[in-house]
Amino acid sequence: MKKVIIMGATSGLGKEIAKFYISKGCVVGIAGRRTELLKSLQSLCPDRVHIQPVDVTSADAPAALEKLVRACGGMDLYVHSSGIGFNNPQLTLDAETQTVTTNAVGFTQMIDTAFNYFARQGHGHIAAITSIAGTQGLGAAPAYSATKKYQSTYLTALAQLARVRRRSVRITDIRPGFVRTALIEGGRYPLQMNVEYAARRACRAIERRRRIAVVDWRYAILVACWRLIPRCLWERIPVYGK
């Protein structure tokens, strides 16, 4: 029976991905900061769902993840869906530093813990929700864009590290487009997707063991076009600010 841990399962993509694996009969460990929301999700299948309150930015977050792994009897797949971001063209400092702490420091703590576990075990699969925002810097969300680029680069480095160390650790980088959540509320973002649809596409990418998956095909085209725009032109485009 597959054992799946999902970090950031209290809402959004993480919650929908958790529901997918619960429906597939997996043993599922769900983690996040809001215990009541975790308990609500656990009620779907109390005998196969284990919960663990975790703040990914705290010093004890790696130990909390390891505790959840033990409760599940092991881990085959780790899904990282924990993150924050703000539409912040005003550059409110607190919002930017919170984003960096969660999406860079917290991400690194959790991903490294999962990678080291799988390296010792001899096999495993890490999937992380990054974003197409890491393709180019979006002026409406500077810290979010930068940390998503960091995450994708970090995952690439780990994929290389796994090969060099001859460890069977699979890496999947899931890059959604603009999903209709509180993160983009109030911004002028195109082609918004609902959470359920985006989660289905993410789960398909995980199950197919894709290395990089842009969700969905419309965004794959959009990102390809973004990459062709020279920096001197990109910096003159008022991209989706409020």
Instruction: Render pLDDT for 174-200 as a digit per residue (tens, 0 to 9).
Output: 999 888 776 666 566 778 888 999 999
Residue 85 lies inside a defined structural domain of this protein: yes
Residue 240 lies inside a defined structural domain of this protein: no
Residue 239 lies inside a defined structural domain of this protein: no
Residue 62 lies inside a defined structural domain of this protein: yes
Q: How many domains does the chain have?
A: 1
* pLDDT at position 71 over 70: yes
Residue 212 lies inside a defined structural domain of this protein: yes
Share of the chain above pLDDT 90, in %: 78
Domain boundaries, position 107: 3-234
Neighbours of 236 (CB within 10 A): 8
Chain-centroid distance of CA 121 in Å reads 23
Residue 41 makes CB contacts below 8 A (sequence gap 6+) with 9, 10, 15, 18, 19, 22, 30, 49, 51
Task: Return the closest-CA partner of residue 52 out of 82, 25, 26.
Answer: 82
Residue 166 lies inside a defined structural domain of this protein: yes
- pLDDT tens-place string over residues 163-180: 999 999 999 999 998 887
pLDDT at res. 240: 54
Domain of 105, CATH number, reads 3.40.50.720
Residue 161 lies inside a defined structural domain of this protein: yes
Residue 26 lies inside a defined structural domain of this protein: yes
